[in-house]
Amino acid sequence: MNITHTTQPIIHKDDHAIISSYLGTEATEPLKTKLEQAKIVPQDEFPRDAVRLHSRVTVRDKMARMNFTYNMSLPGGNQSVTSNIGMAILGLKKGEEVKLQFKNSKKYYIVMEVSNPV
């Protein structure tokens, strides 16, 4: 899987440390790449509309024309940051788009809403 977005992802400093411990398999290579390319920021600089751990996120599948809402979590939760969609939208802000390229297909998503814990 290949993830393409037009902006640099923004990752919360605390989330970066936690998520990094879940890397190490071939399946998480796209997440490792995203973390390496991301801008890592502390709490006081983190945008309220950016996707992070424990965010409630609504995304629109542009091809299916359907919205889906996820609660971003660690593996074992509602929508893990190590899942395809989790890796794709982590670090994106409301209004940003992402393309997932698989061997025989593509998916396009846009982040519609982001709600973060206080």
Segments of the chain scoring below 70 in pLDDT: none
Domain 2-115 has CATH 3.40.50.10420: no
| Residue of 86, 26, 32 lying closest to 55 (CA atoms) | 86
pLDDT, tens digit (0-9, with 9 covering 90-100), for 82-116? 999 999 999 999 999 999 999 999 999 999 999 99
| Residue of 108, 103, 101, 92 lying closest to 9 (CA atoms) | 92
**The pTM is what?**
0.92
Domain ranges of the chain: 2-115
In angstroms, rounded to a whole number, what is the distance separating the alpha carbons of residues 54 and 10? Answer: 15
String of DSSP letters for 1-14 = -EEEESS--EEEHH
CA 21, 25, 30, 32 dihedral sign is: positive
Burial 43-80 (b: 16+ CB within 10 A, else e): eeebeebbbbbebbbebbeeeeeeeeebebbbeeeebb
Average pLDDT of the chain, as a whole number: 93
User: Tell me, what's the pLDDT at 86?
Assistant: 94
- Specify whether the CB–CB gap between 79 and 71 falls below 8 A: yes
